[in-house]
Amino acid sequence: MKKIVQNVEVKVPQSKMKRNYLKELNRNKYLYLLMLPAIVYYIIFAYTPMYGLTLAFKEYSAKLGILGSEWVGFEKFELLFSNSYFWRTLFNTIKISLLRLLFVTPAPIIIAVLFSELNAKRTKKVLQTVYTLPHFLSWVIVSGIVLNVLDYDGMINNFLESMCFEKQIFLGNKRMFLPIVYISAIWKDAGWSSLIYLAAIAGINPEIYEAAELDGITRIKKIWYITLPSISTTIVMMLTLTTGHILAAGFDQIFNLINPAVQEVGDILDIYIYRITFQNTPDFSFSTAVGLFTSVVNITVLLIVDRISHRISGVGVFSGGSK
């Protein structure tokens, strides 16, 4: 190895490099020990199971196991792409994800901006607690609340009936299903997600706001011309990461909310995989093929959006932080 000292290249002996490395390792041994459980976790539960992806190219037999199962190449993918139900669920997944980006993603940004403009500290703490609490509830509980509120004999319909209005079938209406999905998603996670943007807003130099106030700028203009541009890097990064789940439209949520009446608009790829694997005659090879297709598309979209983001704004997750 060569080391540059005052523009002069000096060779560093390998033995000295090894001593320096061991010294550095010994100095930070407790930090490395703290990292060890996470490394072991990812090796066991994230990287080792990746061998199971070979099932997508085999005709899996429980008797023969993964290694002994017959290799069939792209047969499962040909079967997948010739399945009309797959294309319907793919369309639904993309549609739900894109509309989620449009309606759900801005919610935490708006909440964070509103919190930052709130001067009453006690009120702000109470509201932050109220807004973040639903995040810690599982979708089973949240869906149960939604079902009880919107059921035909639920709270809203009882109120409509008391006001002499006709009861509505909210949960069995195809037009209402997606709005219910987005509203419940905002209620559950927007408060928690807003913490990231609140942290970004807290990092803005207060002198910029003070200078703006001296110039007589209004509060709305401060938000538009100072706050939002200052956190644009965070917004772009979070938006880019969200696009990496374009084919994961929220299995937990939709699985607990969907019913046969809205299945046509609510079926997504993850539910399709679930039905293949657990409800019908199990075909683990086919469901693995669907899962592999989903993962490849997700990472491809993520890389493309990241590259576009870096070219347009200079911000990217994998392409570097700025120009």
If you write DSSP's letter for every residue of 22-62 in order, what string do you get? HHHHHHTHHHHHHHHHHHHHHIIIIIGGGGGGGGGGEE--T
**pLDDT score recorded for residue 18:** 73
Positions of the chain with pLDDT lower than 70, given as ranges: 1-16, 319-323
Average pLDDT in the chain: 86
pLDDT tens digits, 7-61: 445 455 666 677 777 888 888 888 888 989 999 999 998 888 888 888 899 998 8
How much of the chain exceeds pLDDT 90, in percent?
34
CATH superfamily of 80-313: MetI-like (1.10.3720.10)
Q: What is the pLDDT of residue 322?
A: 46
Cβ-count burial of 49 within 10 angstroms (0-12 exposed, 13-18 middle, 19+ buried)?
A: exposed
Of the candidates 56, 52, 51, 95, the residue with the CA atom closest to the CA atom of residue 79: 56
- DSSP secondary structure code for residue 82 in this structure: T
What is the DSSP annotation of 140-199? HHHHHHHHHHHSTTSHHHHHHHHTTPPP---TT-HHHHHHHHHHHHHHHHHHHHHHHHHH
Write down the pLDDT at residue 12.
53
